Structure 1
Amino acid sequence: MKPVIIFVITFVLLIPISVSAGDELVPQWIKTNAGWWAGGQIDDTTFIDGLEYLISKDILNIDAVQTSKSSEGIPEWIKQTANWWSSNAVTDSEFLNSIKYLVENGIITIEKTPNDFYDIQNWQMYDHSKQSIGNYLEG
């Protein structure tokens, strides 16, 4: 009986932690931008360009296969979802699903280019003091 009580107490204590951790899929400041876009304070191109940047830098993790670039506009339901998300009426996951739709339908295009080389976060440190020429150790 004692192990069951310990299990139940542990289970009850861990539930709020896992639920709150699951909702932190998107940085809070992106929600502000979505609200501005839904409210007409920023245009579609600015919002899409921002999302493309965030996805390409892995700030937003969207697991979607991109088709070819589309010339169609953003469906109105996407903007409504962003509006609801900015006011906490829908979850991060629901918002990310709408972004996934935009990627899958070519409205958002993601390109990782060789320019990522210039991103210093991708560089590795190399210790030149350990290099030697012949029997002469420099450093």
Structure 2
Amino acid sequence: MIARALFGLLLAAPLAMPLSALAQDDLVPMDTTGVDPDLLKDMYGPWVIVDESGDKSCNVVLQDEPTIGGSVIDVDPACAKVFPIMDEITAWRLMQGWGIDLVDATRKTRVRFTTPDDAYVAYPEVDGISTILQPVRE
């Protein structure tokens, strides 16, 4: 999974400015018109949001279907008990540098996941959310 993420970042480098060159608040949605469709497919599907210890988790599904504010996200109803902010999430966006934004009904970014290294990091860290991971696919 980590190698695939790094490979995706390397392939996307010509299409998006490196994350290190951008302030996180300056990111804009990624223009995916020239991105390899297989890389985009890897973004869609189940993900798990976890806290730093890994003790708390929340299941979401990032879909390739447009909606107001971005793309459709299915948030497990139990997520709001674990991370209350998740009760407000109505969409997600793929950002430059392969970042993931979770947005509310007013289209405001509530949690941004960026990849400064080989894993996604939450910015800001809200309700203890630390990262988002893809479950191991068989």
Larger % of strand: which?
2
| TM-score > 0.5, shorter chain as reference | no
Q: Which has the higher helix share?
A: 1
In the superposition, the TM-score normalised over structure 1's length comes to: 0.30
Q: Which protein has the larger Cα radius of gyration, Structure 1 or Structure 2?
A: 1
